[in-house]
């Protein structure tokens, strides 16, 4: 059989001149129209093909990985730099003995979501409802929160310090504040000096041991620096410049009123390490 041109086989979408309607061409199809000599060679080629090893067909399953341990992480973190002052619009028990507080604000509503953490006078609270038209949001307070903080003293119209939880792009302007109030202190003295304001706060000895001169402390959610500690009076004081006074609620309070306090967490970690015998274990090793 004479061929005017060499045959072309179809791979992919190329057409086979011997089988115009076929999409693929096998060796048996081609050999059927060729000479016996070529046909036998094709058969020999087909029978000489070896089956590939199974190892080259099946992909080996990856080695099992040890599961990573689950660690508890801090859900929210603040800086103590107050973003705005909000106004209490409503507070009290609404249903099922649930204490709810509704706060009017502007900055907080810019990117708010249900479940967000917002620091209200230094207390980390969860957004349960919000209205961007009325520019207000609601948070729920547990009985322990009311007992541990000064939020129970708020009234309709009271101003509160507000700060959203940190995001990866937030500048760290203050110090690490968790929004976990350690207790309250009582303002015992407020005295101006120039355009600054001295404030002295009386606190329990259980918290005073964590307060050091020139150390950080969060007061109503505001990151401030301790000036002096008075052990005999069980007090400490701090000073606020004019700009801070205009943007936080502390100057609006009077002598005798309470403020929320959160001490620097580093002091607690040090105390924990010392009480656990960590230092002794290092000395003995």
159 beta partners: 87
CB 138 within 8 A of CB 100: yes
Clarify whether 128 is annotated catalytic. no
135 close to 89: Cβ distance less than 8 angstroms: no
Active-site choice (25, 78, 175, 222): 78
Active site residue 124: yes
Burial class (CB in 10 A: 0-12, 13-18, 19+), 181: buried
Catalytic residue, candidates 32, 142, 191, 242: 142
Please indicate whether residue 235 is annotated as part of the active site.
Answer: no
Evaluate whether 22 touches 16 at the Cβ level (below 8 Å): yes
- Catalytic one among 25, 31, 79, 117? 117
- Compute φ and ψ for 188, nearest 5 degrees: -110, -15
Catalytic residue among 24, 132, 152, 225: 225
Are 18 and 29 spatial neighbours (Cβ–Cβ below 8 Å)? Answer: yes
Q: How far is it, in rounded angstroms, from Cα 258 to Cα 86?
A: 18
Q: What is the DSSP string of 130-154?
A: EETTTTEEEEEE-HHHHHHSSGGG-
Q: Which residue among 9, 100, 158, 180 is the active-site one?
A: 180
Give, in order, the Cα–Cα distances in Å from 52 to each of 25, 27, 46.
22, 19, 14
Q: Which of 124, 138, 145, 176 is catalytic?
A: 124
Query: Which residues are identified as catalytic?
Result: 78, 117, 124, 126, 142, 180, 225
């Amino acid at each position: 059989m004479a061929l005017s041109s060499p045959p072309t086989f179809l791979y992919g979408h190329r057409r086979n001149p011997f089988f115009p309607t076929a999409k693929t061409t096998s060796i048996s199809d081609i050999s059927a129209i060729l000479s016996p000599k070529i046909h036998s060679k094709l058969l020999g080629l087909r029978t000489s093909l070896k089956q590939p090893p199974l190892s080259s067909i099946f992909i080996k399953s990856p080695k099992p990985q040890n599961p990573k341990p689950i660690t508890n992480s801090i859900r929210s973190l603040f800086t103590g730099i107050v973003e705005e002052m909000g106004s209490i619009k409503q507070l009290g028990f609404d249903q099922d003995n649930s204490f709810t507080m509704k706060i009017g604000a502007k900055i907080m509503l810019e990117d708010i979501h249900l479940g967000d953490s917002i620091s209200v006078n230094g207390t980390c609270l969860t957004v349960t409802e919000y209205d961007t038209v009325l520019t207000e949001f609601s948070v729920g307070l547990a009985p322990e929160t009311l007992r541990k903080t000064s939020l129970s003293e708020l009234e309709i119209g009271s101003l509160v310090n507000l700060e959203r939880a940190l995001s990866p792009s937030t500048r760290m302007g203050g110090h690490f504040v968790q929004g976990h109030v350690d207790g309250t202190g009582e303002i015992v003295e407020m005295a101006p000096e120039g355009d600054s304001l001295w404030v002295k706060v009386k606190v329990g000895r259980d918290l005073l041991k964590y307060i050091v001169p020139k150390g950080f402390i969060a007061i109503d959610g505001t990151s401030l620096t301790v000036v002096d500690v008075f052990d005999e009076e069980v007090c400490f004081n701090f000073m606020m410049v004019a700009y801070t006074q205009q943007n936080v609620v502390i100057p609006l309070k009077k002598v005798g009123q309470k403020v929320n306090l959160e001490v620097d967490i580093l002091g607690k970690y040090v105390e924990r390490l010392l009480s656990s015998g960590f230092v002794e274990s290092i000395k003995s090793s």
